[in-house]
A and B are shown apart, each in its own frame.
Chain A
Amino acid sequence: MTVKERERQSTAAAATRRAGPGREALFAVGGAVLAAAILAIFGLTLPANSYLLFSGFLLFLFTTQSLAWNLVGGYGGQTSFGHATFYGIGAYTTALLQENAGLHPVLALLAGALGAAVFSVIWGYPLFRLRGFYFAIATIGIAEATRLVALSPLRELTGGASGFRMSTAGAGGRTSQYMTALALVLATFLTSYWVRNSKLGLGLFALNMDPEAAETLGVDTTRLKAISLALSAFIVGLTGGIYARAFLYINPNDVFAFSVSIAMVLMSVIGGVGTLIGPILGAVIYVVIQDQLGAAQITFRGQTFQFRDVQLGLYGLLLALIILFEPAGLVGLFQRVAGRFRRRGGTQAVAEQQALLRNETGDE
């Protein structure tokens, strides 16, 4: 059977499965409730330790980004390596409006997010004509170009390479930052859940599976892509603004960095791209690696191995293994394991989900 046929079949299978209230939907609802519960407990019992408060804040911020990237990169299948532009624009717009124009912090945040969304439309529309690689590569170009523009021609505004420092006065405490980020991550999760089950989500899925077919069926693909990208940009812009307010110092080389975009991609893919829970899982893993393992080391036969020396390679290895063996990410892995325990045939759902994400190598 050719890959094409296979793909049709899996599309059909996915479509039927989506139509009915299958296990997939049950899982999603269950997961949503569980995640919401966990997050709510986090919120109700504020960590006593102020560092945990800060770690939690960062975790929520990363999780939000990961979820937001997944809206367009996962559901829509538009791999963007340029989300740092939204982060940077959100951060700078918020900081500048609050600092130089004296705008109310909340309004400044919203303005920053709107700015990011508008920017997404500006580069999104022309770029959506491109597919696959072309889109991905073009987003790298956009992101790097934006960084350079922020660095040199806009030096007066952004502080250039010296960065932009906000005044300490009026910066919220760690508790309020934590609560803001918590609220944002919950809202983003609900958004993600809603998108997944709305007409928008269905359209995105269709588009992801077969753009031509989706168009023939009357789906306005460009509009769908633009909406999902703008939504994603809005949320990432918010995280940029919140970051600026918490860190009080931003620099084009930091907030517009390629590594910011890459982090969002990594989190989503490691956790499970296109799934609801995956991006959360990916963000948790990412933050744990980033934050907690910096000092870890293993002593083996008298030789000491610093974890930080192999961290980059481990990300790479994890990513490679996931791509080769478990395209549905850690979520897929867990589902598979759970399926094994339940009954022998339980892996079918996973297999279908995988088929959604990539076509298996044809063994002709």
Chain B
Amino acid sequence: MDLGNILPVTVGAILLAGLYATMSYGLGLIYGVMRIVNLSHAGIMMLAAYTTLMLYRSFGIEPYLAPVIVMPLFFVIGMGFQRLIVRRITGAAPIVSLLLLFSVWLIIQNAAYLIWSGNTQSILRPYTTRSFRIEALDLTIGWMRLGVFLAGVVTLIILQFFLTRTYLGKAIRATTQDRDSAKLVGIDVDRISMVAFGIGIALSALAGALFSMILPFNPDFGRVLMLKSFAVIVLGGLTSFVGIAVGALVLALAEEWAVGVFGMQTALKDLVSFSALVLVLILLPNGLPSLLGRMPVWRTKPARPTTAPTGGKAA
């Protein structure tokens, strides 16, 4: 046990939480509205990372500006994909959507291997390894990590605003809570699903574009990240963005503290998120919020995995 590390490890964990949250919003939104686990999430992130790389290499667009192009692009792709393919399996058994999106991942991955080969890529700009120091606390913080963290926070704020203040957002929330009732009050659930899916994919793409500046990537990128996203949304209780942010923070703190403070081998770090995934599903089906009690932002009726409708009857 090393208490001297608490401060730097905690700061590192908070920054990492920003990364975890950013990559989990899209997954959470799609799950909430459509009761579908997007198994192509990793593929989308990978594709966005390569798009960012291409934008930089071919057009000289600075990677930090890439989301401005990448997000609308993937929003449209996501909507089209939902309209043409995913809509067909709404309400089918869970395995159907899981496997369909898994097959999409396989196809994207294969296409990436063909186009970009399997070589590891990374984006290198003068600012990608720059950092600043806080001498008083003996802390060094990378600008990019801070940037991703801030992006995660800003995204959360915008999403919260969008969900509580706009008609579309309210409709999405209503659909998340109860699809049938939403239909009854005149919400065009099909259209809402399409838009939500588009936003979800755009959010995954945002994560991919941001990560391309921090992490090296290849067509197999995102496998472990996706599993961690599952853990994050499960921890967060599955349907709320604030829940996701909290879940990301808890997971990041657990991982980093286990290694940095309690002296666990780094090799076992991923075990923390895998066990968290399983244990929370079993012991806390509604995620951490059920521990904290009803938070004020938590207005939605949380979905209970044990009694919630299985995919088959979500429609």
Contact = CB atoms under 8 A, between A and B. Distances in A.
Direct contact of A and B (CB under 8 A): yes
Contact of A152 (B110, B267, B312): B267
B175 to A, nearest CB: 15
Contact of A137 (B92, B102, B105, B234): B234
Contacts of A73: 95
A323 interface: yes
A362 B315 contact: yes
B107 A320 contact: yes
B119 interface: no
B110 A144 contact: no
A134 B287 CA distance: 12
Contact of A320 (B103, B109, B311): B103
A77 interface: yes
Given A144-B270, A317-B103, A133 B91 contact: no
Interface stretch (A20-28, A123-131, A186-194, A340-348): A123-131
B299 interface: no
B87 A144 contact: no
Contacts of A148: 267-268, 270-271, 274
Interface in B251-281: 265, 267-268, 270-271, 274-275, 277-278, 281
A188 B230 CA distance: 34
A273 to B, nearest CB: 8
Interface in A137-154: 137-138, 140-142, 144-145, 148-149, 151-153
A316 B43 CA distance: 13
B114 A4 contact: no
A258 B270 CA distance: 15
A361 B91 contact: yes
Contact of B281 (A3, A138, A324): A138
B72 interface: no
Interface string A310-321: 111111110110
Nearest to A123: B278
Nearest to A161: B267
A50 interface: no
Given A79-B95, A144-B227, A152-B267, A319 B102 contact: yes
A117 interface: no
A319 B105 CA distance: 11
B104 A153 contact: no
A129 B279 CA distance: 12
B80 interface: no
B282 A129 contact: yes
A136 B94 contact: yes
B99 interface: yes
A4 B90 CA distance: 13
A3 B267 contact: no
B39 to A, nearest CB: 9
A2 to B, nearest CB: 8
Interface string A257-278: 0100000010001000100000
Q: Determine which residue in A133, A273, A310 has the highest number of CB atoms from chain B within 10 A of its CB, and name it.
A: A133
B91 A138 contact: no
Interface in A330-364: 357-359, 361-362
B96 A358 contact: yes
A141 B313 contact: no
B91 A362 contact: yes
Given A129-B306, A153-B268, A361-B87, A141 B106 contact: no
A323 B230 contact: no
B274 A145 contact: yes
Interface in B49-72: none
B103 A145 contact: no
B271 A316 contact: no
A327 B92 CA distance: 11
A362 B88 CA distance: 9
A132 interface: yes
Interface of B: 35, 37, 85, 87-96, 98-100, 102-107, 109-111, 113-114, 223, 227, 230-231, 234, 265, 267-268, 270-271, 274-275, 277-278, 281-282, 285, 305-306, 308, 310-313, 315
Given A133-B37, A142-B274, A320-B104, 13 more contacts: A127-B282, A129-B306, A130-B306, A132-B93, A133-B35, A138-B278, A145-B278, A149-B271, A265-B99, A269-B99, A323-B89, A323-B103, A359-B93
Pairs of residues from A and B, 8 with the lowest C-beta to C-beta distance, nearest first: A316-B106, A313-B110, A132-B94, A319-B103, A141-B277, A316-B107, A145-B274, A312-B110
